[in-house]
Structure 1
């Protein structure tokens, strides 16, 4: 069966045991995607999409007066308001994809899909691959919580695919595959959230090459730019048709508010995602900002900021470890992301203490104005708080407040 929109190819798929047409649900393979007005023509007198020809109706004069004449509001919004907001956005965004392909060393834009954050990518992958009530995904807790949430959201009549939960050891993942051939997707978070631990390329290869698994391995690399260069699974894309790598502009690019997620895979899977996405999923303001964020000058700034955050991470980690006498344990996992996960121990003891950790968490937020994340309820994370690396000033304040909370609780 031919994937709609994808030219036939005589290139042999690797690994040999993988056939994408056996992974994608049959009704998705035959789905004819919605045809957008902008798929055919994007210039001229556009009378084809029932848009408002008079343009947007946003007025800045009243807003500025209510803000005591603050002209900065007008100056900030004018560039956005000049983006033809009354027109539907480009449904494909080839310029953004081209810059991503260049940044990540991909052969073409046909290896790139754009989503509304990584969450849209997760949702689409589950919808196109997993038959509700009959097929499953495998996750390796502790991990990003939206994998499980999206599976439940995609369930029909409450019958979601059962979630396999295994520690991230290749031998355990293989045993899970052997025990259950209905597993269609494996989600690996690298660096892990909340552990901050990078998964080696050798481990990812071992799962991709494992012949009994006929599904797709998804590697979520939201934090990859905080890791050592050369650690991204994108380097395996050319070899493996059963691999999908997710990335985002939310973390290292500092653009969490624009919600731009990225899927990187071989063209057949990218075409399937393209066929099933919403027609105009990436809005014009988001695209405008993303294109500039991916310019050479902006990417240089991203790398410089990442170096600063990594240096701050090391300093913050050292400061947290200096509080061991007050009942703060050694950080959990490796330090390959822009956060640290560290256990709060029972007072005077060496055992992680969820009750004390929750008290520290609430005290920091409600009395000290420092908000961290409690993660004690997750597998292997007893008593843990996850602390994002902030600015140098924020980190110094956080250390002082954590010390105070531990002394009093």
Structure 2
């Protein structure tokens, strides 16, 4: 069955065991997408979408603190529905990530919309499943439960030396175990791999990802979540595999390295058939005009140069923070776990005698930092392989110094 809206052009047939028509739910393949007013015409006297022709009703003096950025937002055509496709944004993503064309790019309301859509279009409720690799991003399981989708859990390697990465060591992908789980359950339609991982901070090597993509018994799609990819260094991204593999979808976001968590802009990069299916299924105007305006600005050459500078600063600060944490290790901190490829670090809080990670002490430290010292980190000790761990986001130089000072204080108390 053809995919509505997809031109009859040739796309990759690798791997040979994969056919997207066998992955997408039949009702989605048969879907005739909603055609919105802006699909046809974007200019002229627009009397086709029942918008308010007199404009929005927010007076300029209502802007908080008379902020110029707020006034700029009010000057937009907020009474008009936004562009449903946002090709100018996609064109800048194409240039940034070396993607073949805008037909390889989908924009969502954060990566969470992409995750939800992928499950809705690929996985039959109550019948089929996804596979995740704990410890990993919690929204995969949440979305699965919302969509009545089963979850197969194949944990990452939970032992090994702290800081090891690659195909060995703690938090590496257990390729053989994932393949074994796939072989045992043909209802698995999506495999979610978080790289660099959250909360692990460890990048999955491309050869490990390819081992799942090439696995002959897997007829579904591998989804690689690259929210933190810009902190991992060059050649870490799976985007370069998209042209070769029709069964790959790479997710990215403007929330982390771009510093735009508030605008909720997520990205999916895949071959056109899957992108077209996502486009057919999404809400007609999912990306707002203010979000699109800020995203386009963030993807301009000056903004990209600024982003790269901030990444370099945060990466250097990551090294400095790890050194400062090691300097107070005698107070009961273990070495960081994972390979520290993101904008955070994971540090185990040890028992008083320093013999082992201690969830009870870590919880006390976590709460004391937040409630008594104004420093909020994240307790992750209940995740597999993360006992006693606090996840600390890399802050500004002053914030990092405060974290160390307050952590010393609290560790001496508990």
TM band (smaller chain): over 0.9
The 5-angstrom pairing of residues 1-400 of structure 1 reads 1-11=1-11, 13-61=13-61, 63=62, 70=65, 72-73=66-67, 75-155=68-148, 160-167=149-156, 168-400=173-405
Offset, 1:321: 1.3
When structure 1 is superposed on structure 2, of 321-330 and 182-191 the one drifting more is: 321-330
Q: Give the alignment's TM-score, normalised by structure 1.
A: 0.96
Task: Output the aligned Cα RMSD.
Answer: 1.0
- SS of 2:150's partner is coil
How far apart are 1:258 and its partner, in Å? 0.2
Decide whether the 8 Å contact of 1:258 with 1:286 is kept in 2. yes
* Alpha-carbon distance in structure 2 between the residues aligned to 1:197 and 1:231: 11
Distance across 2 between alignment mates of 1:350 and 1:24: 50
Q: Is the Cα contact below 8 Å between 1:184 and 1:215 reproduced in 2?
A: yes
- Ranges of 4+ aligned residues in structure 1 off by more than 4 Å: none
The answer to whether the 8 Å contact 1:55/1:86 transfers is yes
Instruction: Say whether residues 1:402 and 2:407 are aligned partners.
Output: yes
The alignment partner of 1:250 has SS state of coil
TM-score with structure 2 length normalisation?
0.95
Shift of 1:396: 0.3
- The size of the alignment, in residue pairs, is 398
Contact 2:265–2:291 (8 Å) recurs in 1:
yes
Structure 2: segments with no counterpart, 5+ residues: 157-172
CA separation of 1:20 and 1:227: change in aligned 2, threshold 3 A: same
Q: Could you list the per-position Cα deviations for residues 240-297 of structure 1 after superposition, in whole angstroms to 9, with x for gaps in the alignment?
A: 0000000000000000000000000000000000000000000000000000100011
Question: How many Å separate the matches in 2 of 1:331 and 1:12?
Answer: 41
Give the Cα separation in 1 of the matches to 2:358 and 2:39.
57
Secondary structure of the residue aligned to 2:347 is strand
- Name stretches of at least 5 consecutive residues in structure 1 with no aligned partner: none
Listed one character per residue, the Cα deviations across residues 33-72 of structure 1 (whole Å, up to 9, x for unaligned) are 11010000011110000000000000133x36xx7xx4x3
